[in-house]
A and B are shown apart, each in its own frame.
Chain A
Amino acid sequence: MPDGPGDGEPTVKRFRAWIVLAAAVVAIPSWLAGQEDVASAPQTVFFKANAHYHDSAYDQAVRDYELLLNSGIDSGNLYFNLGNAYFKLGDVGRAIANYERAWREIPADPDLAANLTYARSLTGAETCEVPLWQRSAFPLRGRMSSTSLLWVVCVLWTLTFVALGVHRLAPLQRSFLYSACGFALLTLIATLSLGAQLAVDVWPQRAVVVGVGEAAARFEPAEDGTVHFSLPEGTKVEVTEEREGWLQVSRCDGRRGWVPSTALITL
């Protein structure tokens, strides 16, 4: 007997349900496998992203680099490559933001310094000039990552007490006393540099202007607020307050203004 009109509709629904189920069975394991790839073999994903970059498929490279970052991996070189990919896509603001993130990990990298300088020169983004007294008082600030600087402090700290202990047990060896004084001085310099780096560069919340052109910083968090100053794309600012989709940012010269949060990427 032929199926009546009322029997065909449940059949179609059941057919659709089976298709959805089959797709889920196929897609979920492959998605899980992808997550597993990122977590278990990040180098593979990294090399694949590099290959996309090499083939000028910058958007795919960005996607893979972001995938690695979303999996919880942190690497200066990863941020560097992501910045390059954004730069090639024409998004100089996001490129500078990722260069700034990379700077926290590999501040002494000359390639990073070159790319950051070049990108800033294209947008006109200004950087804060470090005063001479700060460069003199904190000579190691910005020369290495905070973690590396902390290990340097630990090593110098240990060497200071080792030299003091040896001098105590062998008082006639005065060279150990001089060594202890030298290590103590170096420990002080490294500690001050670390403190300055954390207080100025790491702990304050920073953001970078993204988008096309300049972002207007206004006197109040409203579209009709009077424009106080303009921030070129790629300018790094300090975030001082947040309010309903607006961020109050502070420029190098201390001037403050409200910028829509969509125009900024926090670091």
Chain B
Amino acid sequence: MNGDGIASRRTNWRAVAVRSALVARRAILTFVLLASPRLAAADISVRAELNTRTAQVGQTVTLTIAVEGAQNVQAPALEGLEEFDARYVGPSTQVAIVNGQMSAQVHHRYALTPTREGTFTLGPFKVDYGGQQYQTDALQLTVDPAAAAPQAPAAGSGAGGDQLRLAITVPKTEVYLHEKLPIDVTLYVGSIQVSDVQYPVVSAEGVSLDNFSQPRQFGQMIDGRRWDVVQFHTNVIPLQDGARLLGPVSMGLNLIERQRQGGIFNDPFFNAFGSRRRPTQIRAEPVLLNVLPLPEEGKPAGFSGAVGKFTMDVSAAPTELQAGDPVTVKIALQGDGNLADARPPSLVSTDGFKTYDSQIADPQGNALRVFEQVLIPNDESVTAIPPVRFAYFDAQERIYQTIESAPIALVVRPGKGAQETRILGASGEQRVRREKLGRDIVYIKDDMGAVRRQAARWYGNWIPLLWLPIPPLLFAAALMYDRRRQKLSGDVRYARFTQARRNARRGLSLAEDALKRADPGVFYDELSRTLQTYLSDKLGLPPGAIDPAAIDASGVSADSAGRLRDLFGVCEQVRFAPSSADGDMRGALAQAKDIIGRLEKECRTAPVTESQL
């Protein structure tokens, strides 16, 4: 219950607030109505305006007669407009309250269509109000001959038919390279309705096309027919010489077609709901441009490609300064031409200045381009900024023009940097004087330096190239030597196997000495010991373990084993039965050498140790 009561009270409060707002509005309206008679008594002024002062025959201009200080003013009757087809468009009123003061005004608009060319004086027009007569000033209107009717048909059959035309117009078809050429793309709309008109698309190669500006709309009479005209304007700049096609031009828009006719809804208001928009593309034929190259004759040295007609204004600030301080030179180029591509004009001379590159001060300027260049006078001897020179090609006169500014006087005082500068450092004070250094080449060399034959380039000098493989080869040899050394010191059996022949050669030499002394005992002792030592080293056996069975089991050939047994037998026989015979010592020595040679061939690899197994 309580909740319902609160909601009910809230609803009542809202109703009260709405009623209060309505009362306030009524009070304001009542105040305005009561104030109207006071407006009638206020000062009244009238004036007449034209939306343009020049027009073409058939082109509709708008005349506005404005009455300030009154609302209920009848549209004045226009007199003296026999050369125009005049039509009253309608009024518009305006009431404003500013700081408690009320003002009102009414505008009566007329559509005037001139029927012949000439210069006409419109008015003065008379306005009657409150029993008094007020008068406007007279206006001047210049009417030019009518333009030729466009012949470009609409694209596509049935898409507007002859009621829709698009044309591209240029003031001339012969232009110079980089010359700015204004063009108009004009849409003519007859007795049909269109909407959503898009910007035209121009196909062109070898030209630079600016963006289109806001289109201009007006009415125009051509061949007795009235056209609504939408005109787009832009500029093109040819970038390549020769014959260039400008266009074709295409434009997109919507055709408004009525779907229902007649009946009780045959009214513009209801017809707006009974129409449909049909997207349409229309097209204008291209225009052939003959682009002439810029003449080489008379081209100034500093010409940078500017074509048109320009003026130049040069200023500088400050004009009184110290040496080393900057002065900004402002160069303003103005005129009709390709200013957007213009490069900054140059100073005739920069002697005595430190210069910086020119900067564009207003990058968006079309008819005006301002460059700023910073200069720093080196010393107080500078008295003026040299003239600025700018060369361009005047396409109308067909000659190159060079404009040059006057020198700008400067007062340069000695700068602080030019005076003695005191540098405070840890090692004391030094005085440094800025000096101007000269520039030239360094003097010739007194000696020829390193001399060689021209053919002996580095790749003709083979010494370093031949040397390159030697260090790695030496390193590899050192590696092999080190590995062998380590194996000999760490593997006793391998060391004995490797050194067996050398030891045998030494033993056989001792036996040969005994042979020369004819000492058979020593000879056969040495021979037997040498063979046993050799076999034990070669076969990896202990010195005392050499016997026929060990020889047979050692893997040597049967022939070598037999020879060994025979030789050992001879040695044993002579050693233990010396009286039997001295034996054939030379034959035994030769046989020992032969057996060792055979075993060297048969036992090429060292016996495998147990640890290796």
Task: Determine if chain A interacts with chain B.
Answer: yes
Interface size on A, residues (CB 8 A): 41
Task: Answer whether A160 and B478 are a contact pair too, CB < 8 Å, given A72-B453, A111-B442.
Answer: no
Taking CB atoms, residues of chain A closer than 8 Å to B474 are 161, 165
**Nearest neighbor of B470 in chain A, beta-carbon distance:** A158
A30 to B378, CA, bound (A): 59
A118 to B440, CA, bound (A): 7
B490 to chain A, nearest CB (A): 15
Q: Are B444 and A150 in contact (CB under 8 A)?
A: no
Which of B441, B448, B455 meets A118, CB within 8 Å? B441
**CB within 8 Å of A: which of B422-441?**
439-441
A71 to B444, CA, bound (A): 21
Task: Answer whether A84 and B448 are a contact pair too, CB < 8 Å, given A160-B471, A161-B475.
Answer: no
Of the listed stretches B122-130, B230-238, B461-469, B590-598, name the one at the interface; the rest are far from the partner chain: B461-469
Asked if B458 is at the interface (CB within 8 A of a chain A CB), the reply is: yes
Taking CB atoms, residues of chain B closer than 8 Å to A72 are 453-455
Q: Are A161 and B471 in contact (CB under 8 A)?
A: yes
Asked if A18 is at the interface (CB within 8 A of a chain B CB), the reply is: no
B304 to chain A, nearest CB (A): 15
Which of B448, B458, B475 meets A46, CB within 8 Å? B448
Taking CB atoms, residues of chain B closer than 8 Å to A87 are 441
Which of B439, B443, B451, B475 meets A164, CB within 8 Å? B475
Q: Mark B193-220, 1 if CB is under 8 A from A, else 0.
A: 0000000000000000000000000000
A222 to chain B, nearest CB (A): 19
Q: Are A74 and B444 in contact (CB under 8 A)?
A: no
Taking CB atoms, residues of chain B closer than 8 Å to A78 are 448-449, 451
Pick the most buried of A84, A160, A165: most chain B CB atoms within 10 A of its CB.
Answer: A165
Q: Are A77 and B475 in contact (CB under 8 A)?
A: no
Asked if B517 is at the interface (CB within 8 A of a chain A CB), the reply is: no
Q: Are B444 and A53 in contact (CB under 8 A)?
A: yes
Q: Are B478 and A76 in contact (CB under 8 A)?
A: no
Pick the most buried of B441, B451, B467: most chain A CB atoms within 10 A of its CB.
Answer: B441
Taking CB atoms, residues of chain A closer than 8 Å to B464 are 150-151, 153-154
Q: Mark B274-313, 1 if CB is under 8 A from A, else 0.
A: 0000000000000000000000000000000000000000
Taking CB atoms, residues of chain B closer than 8 Å to A85 are 444
A42 to B453, CA, bound (A): 12
Taking CB atoms, residues of chain B closer than 8 Å to A74 are 451-454, 456
Asked if B446 is at the interface (CB within 8 A of a chain A CB), the reply is: yes
Asked if A157 is at the interface (CB within 8 A of a chain B CB), the reply is: yes
Asked if B27 is at the interface (CB within 8 A of a chain A CB), the reply is: no
Majority-rule SS of B interface residues? loop
A112 to chain B, nearest CB (A): 8
A43 to B445, CA, bound (A): 12
B239 to chain A, nearest CB (A): 15
Asked if A1 is at the interface (CB within 8 A of a chain B CB), the reply is: no
**Nearest neighbor of B472 in chain A, beta-carbon distance:** A161
Taking CB atoms, residues of chain A closer than 8 Å to B449 are 75-78, 105-106
Q: Are B453 and A73 in contact (CB under 8 A)?
A: yes
The number of A-B residue pairs with CB atoms under 8 Å apart is 93
Q: Are A42 and B448 in contact (CB under 8 A)?
A: yes
Task: Answer whether A147 and B461 are a contact pair too, CB < 8 Å, given A50-B444, A169-B482.
Answer: yes
A158 to B464, CA, bound (A): 11
Asked if A146 is at the interface (CB within 8 A of a chain B CB), the reply is: yes
Q: Are A73 and B450 in contact (CB under 8 A)?
A: no
A255 to chain B, nearest CB (A): 20
Q: Are B444 and A43 in contact (CB under 8 A)?
A: no
Q: Are A81 and B471 in contact (CB under 8 A)?
A: no
Q: Are A115 and B441 in contact (CB under 8 A)?
A: yes
B448 to chain A, nearest CB (A): 5
Q: Mark A101-121, 1 if CB is under 8 A from B, else 0.
A: 000011000010011001100
Q: Are B447 and A77 in contact (CB under 8 A)?
A: yes
Pick the most buried of A77, A114, A119, A160: most chain B CB atoms within 10 A of its CB.
Answer: A77
A244 to chain B, nearest CB (A): 28
Asked if B479 is at the interface (CB within 8 A of a chain A CB), the reply is: yes
Asked if A258 is at the interface (CB within 8 A of a chain B CB), the reply is: no
Taking CB atoms, residues of chain A closer than 8 Å to B471 are 157-158, 160-162
Q: Are A81 and B452 in contact (CB under 8 A)?
A: no
Taking CB atoms, residues of chain B closer than 8 Å to A157 are 468, 471
**CB within 8 Å of A: which of B470-495?**
471-472, 474-475, 478-479, 482
A77 to chain B, nearest CB (A): 4
Asked if A80 is at the interface (CB within 8 A of a chain B CB), the reply is: yes
**CB within 8 Å of A: which of B535-590?**
none
A199 to chain B, nearest CB (A): 13
Taking CB atoms, residues of chain A closer than 8 Å to B450 are 75-76, 105
Taking CB atoms, residues of chain A closer than 8 Å to B445 are 77, 80-81, 111
Asked if A168 is at the interface (CB within 8 A of a chain B CB), the reply is: yes
B492 to chain A, nearest CB (A): 23
Interface residues of A (CB under 8 A from B): 42-43, 46, 50, 53, 69, 72-78, 80-81, 84-85, 87, 105-106, 111, 114-115, 118-119, 145-147, 150-151, 153-154, 157-158, 160-162, 164-165, 168-169
Interface residues of B (CB under 8 A from A): 439-458, 461, 464, 467-468, 471-472, 474-475, 478-479, 482
Chain A to chain B contacts (Cβ below 8 Å), 18 pairs: A46-B447, A73-B452, A73-B454, A74-B453, A75-B449, A75-B452, A76-B450, A84-B442, A84-B444, A105-B450, A114-B442, A118-B439, A118-B441, A146-B457, A151-B464, A158-B471, A164-B475, A168-B479
Nearest 9 interchain pairs by C-beta: A161-B471, A77-B445, A77-B449, A147-B458, A111-B442, A81-B444, A74-B454, A115-B441, A161-B475
Extra contacts, 19 of them, besides A77-B448, A81-B444, A154-B464 (Cβ < 8 A), are A42-B451, A50-B446, A53-B444, A73-B453, A74-B456, A75-B448, A76-B449, A78-B449, A80-B445, A84-B444, A105-B449, A106-B449, A153-B464, A154-B467, A157-B468, A161-B475, A162-B471, A164-B475, A165-B478
